[in-house]
């Protein structure tokens, strides 16, 4: 028997960084890039993990505990253990492939984990672990192993595969006991370009820097987080109303806020400015910042000009996606 599951890439539309401190954020799936997991029954004993893109095969039994694929499988098997069933030790081959660029804020790690967990849950007939909520919760556990203190927005959007409005639980400022999650559809489809600076940008560096700035000067940083939160809340209303010009203005305002938080970079600013000059309704960095990706909201008839302007301004790659068009 063979089971396949996949998970999309993602972008953060509004509220990155501030979401860590208890403010709302909005993220969207990017279905043009995906991670896929194939789980197959095997004749051999144990679990073989295959990642042909990386030409790397490893037996689960030999993998270090922090190996990303092994961590996902162990997290699933722990959750699948019930009081009257021992830890299952099935004979499987698991193959992972992904078209999501790595380390660029497109959620590649979370998507690989979510695809793997969903495929295992379906294959091993554990439907209660294959729900979007369960896949998201288990993916979050794995994200915590690799990223320390993620807000939880990445695992949420790649597991639910919809536009999400998200507020985390247990934030250092606006601590709440329950997270807020609203899945919603924009009033009009959003045509977005995703421009990659080509700079490798591990999220934990800007996240750590923002934390140090906040600890050193909360009076300066807390109002910036709150301003981003207000922008994200207003953006949800504008998105639901299909008020695209307002969404664009709010993207520009969010980028200014992120610049003040010190997480932009000259390369991101150059792409953001180029998109606006070429007719984008709005543009901002997306994700951790200092590199990685920016996004631009365009109209169908300006997409080609904005895309060309992004490449001319140094984008290593430009992806095009439409949010809310059938998802």
Q: Which residues bind ligand PMV (CB under 6 A)?
A: 12, 16-17, 19-20, 105, 150-151, 153-154, 203, 207, 287-288
CA dihedral 32, 16, 272, 307 (to 10 degrees): 0
In the complex with ligand PMV, the residue whose CB is nearer, 11 or 130, is: 11
- Smallest gap from residue 196 Cβ to ligand PMV (A): 12
Residue nearest to ligand PMV (CB): 287
In the complex with ligand PMV, the residue whose CB is nearer, 20 or 38, is: 20
With both helix axes pointing from N to C terminus, report the angle between 244-260 and 266-277 in degrees, rounded to the nearest 10. Answer: 160
In the complex with ligand PMV, the residue whose CB is nearer, 195 or 288, is: 288
In the complex with ligand PMV, the residue whose CB is nearer, 200 or 220, is: 200
**Whether 191 contacts 298, CB under 8 Å:** yes
- Smallest gap from residue 257 Cβ to ligand PMV (A): 13
- What's the CA angle centered on 104, arms 102 and 109, to 5 degrees? 45
In the complex with ligand PMV, the residue whose CB is nearer, 97 or 149, is: 149
- Smallest gap from residue 226 Cβ to ligand PMV (A): 15
- Smallest gap from residue 86 Cβ to ligand PMV (A): 35
Strand partners, 12: 27
- Smallest gap from residue 323 Cβ to ligand PMV (A): 16
In the complex with ligand PMV, the residue whose CB is nearer, 58 or 316, is: 316
Three-state DSSP state, 295: strand
In the complex with ligand PMV, the residue whose CB is nearer, 47 or 158, is: 158
- Smallest gap from residue 118 Cβ to ligand PMV (A): 20
Would you mind telling me the total number of residues written for the chain in this entry?
327
Per-residue DSSP letters for 88-109? P---EEEEEEE-SPTTSSS-HH
Question: Phi, psi (5° rounding) for residue 209?
Answer: -65, -40
Cα 103 versus chain centre, distance:
11
Distance CA 72, CA 301 (A): 42
- Smallest gap from residue 246 Cβ to ligand PMV (A): 23
Tokens of 26: 């909005």
In the complex with ligand PMV, the residue whose CB is nearer, 202 or 279, is: 202
- Smallest gap from residue 303 Cβ to ligand PMV (A): 23
Distance CA 149, CA 142 (A): 11
Question: Phi, psi (5° rounding) for residue 285?
Answer: -70, 160
Distance CA 247, CA 237 (A): 9
In this structure, the number of other CB atoms found within 10 A of the CB of residue 94 comes to 23
């Amino acid at each position: 028997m063979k089971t396949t599951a996949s998970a999309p890439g993602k972008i953060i539309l509004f509220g990155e960084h501030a979401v860590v401190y208890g403010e709302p954020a909005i993220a969207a799936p990017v279905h043009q890039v995906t991670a896929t997991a194939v789980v197959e029954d095997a004749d051999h004993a144990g679990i073989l993990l295959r990642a042909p893109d990386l030409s790397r095969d490893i037996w689960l039994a030999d993998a270090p505990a922090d190996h990303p694929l092994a961590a996902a499988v162990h997290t699933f098997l722990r959750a699948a253990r019930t009081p009257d069933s021992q830890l299952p030790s099935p004979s499987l081959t698991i193959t992972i492939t992904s078209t999501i660029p790595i380390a660029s804020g497109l959620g590649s790690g979370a998507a690989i984990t979510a695809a793997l967990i969903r495929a295992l849950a379906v294959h091993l007939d554990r439907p209660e672990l294959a729900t979007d909520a369960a896949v998201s919760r288990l993916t979050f556990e794995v994200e915590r192993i690799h990223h320390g203190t993620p807000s939880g927005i990445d695992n949420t959007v790649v597991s639910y595969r919809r536009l999400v409005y998200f507020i985390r639980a247990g934030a250092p400022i606006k601590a709440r006991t329950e997270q807020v999650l609203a899945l919603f559809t924009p009033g009009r489809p959003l045509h977005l370009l995703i421009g990659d600076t080509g700079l490798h940008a591990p999220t934990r560096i800007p996240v750590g820097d923002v934390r140090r700035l906040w600890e050193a000067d909360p009076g300066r940083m807390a109002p910036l987080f709150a301003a981003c939160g207000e922008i994200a809340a207003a953006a949800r209303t504008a998105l639901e109303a299909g008020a695209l010009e307002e969404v664009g203005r709010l993207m520009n305002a969010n980028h200014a806020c992120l610049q003040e938080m010190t997480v932009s970079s000259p390369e991101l600013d150059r792409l953001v400015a180029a998109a606006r000059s070429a007719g984008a309704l709005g543009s901002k960095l997306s994700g951790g910042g200092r590199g990685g990706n920016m996004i631009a909201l365009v109209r169908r008839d300006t997409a080609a000009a904005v895309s060309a302007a992004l490449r001319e301004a140094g984008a290593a790659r430009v992806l095009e996606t439409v949010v809310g068009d059938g998802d």
